[in-house]
A and B are shown apart, each in its own frame.
Chain A
């Protein structure tokens, strides 16, 4: 089954404790992206990757890091989480050029205390 898998789905952590949200897709997609969703603000892009070893900032990259060492994986790293990073995070992938459809993961709800 074609899918984008995120882990963890739910996480409560404390300020400053490094965490990683993993994202994996099995569709051989070149393009992957991270979004955060906050009430009233819609979906805001954090980082994206057009291919392996190619990443770029989206609209709200501050406080986040990403890496794309393999085509299927695109982890989101919060080196020192803060309460304003409490949000619902979505990973998404697409073929990038041949089609515009983004396939989203199920989301990861992160709470930073």
Chain B
């Protein structure tokens, strides 16, 4: 089955710096890669996703890149702000087969003012 590795487990940056979180997956048939943000005490919420027919997707200060050959995808946050502090989870699945959305173990991002 699918296995998703996520690094780093914790990340601390200064406000205004960029943050990068990386994930690798094992199942070459996976074609859908979402990222979820979980603020302290809250539920996870989708912030961005990418499908395997594109290599990069941006939404304001966040972007996700995908390298299918290397089975690797990353979340990039630019101009970080204190409200970006949260736990971020990557995930992978086969599109149309929602049953097997496998999450990474999460990255705790701290943005220091």
B98–A50 touching, CB < 8 Å: yes
A104–B32 touching, CB < 8 Å: no
Q: Would you give the shortest CB distance from A99 to chain B, in whole angstroms? A: 9
Interface residues of B: mostly helix, strand, loop or mixed? mixed
Size of interface on A: residues with Cβ below 8 Å to B: 25
B98–A42 touching, CB < 8 Å: no
Q: Which residues of A contact B95 (CB under 8 A)?
A: 100
Q: Would you give the shortest CB distance from B53 to chain A, in whole angstroms? A: 14
Distance of A106 Cα from B67 Cα, bound (Å): 33
Closest residue on chain B to residue A101 by CB atoms: B46
Interface residues of B in 87-112 (CB under 8 A from A): 89, 93, 95-96, 98-106
Q: Is B43 an interface residue (CB 8 A)?
A: yes
Q: Is A105 an interface residue (CB 8 A)?
A: yes
Size of interface on B: residues with Cβ below 8 Å to A: 25
A41-B105, A44-B103 known; A101+B49 contact, CB < 8 A: yes
Q: Which residues of B contact A101 (CB under 8 A)?
A: 34, 46, 49
A43–B46 touching, CB < 8 Å: no
Distance of A27 Cα from B43 Cα, bound (Å): 17
Q: List 7 A-B contacts (CB under 8 A).
A: A42-B104, A59-B1, A94-B98, A100-B93, A102-B34, A102-B36, A105-B43
Using a CB–CB distance below 8 Å, which chain B residues touch chain A? 1, 6, 9, 32, 34, 36, 42-46, 49, 89, 93, 95-96, 98-106
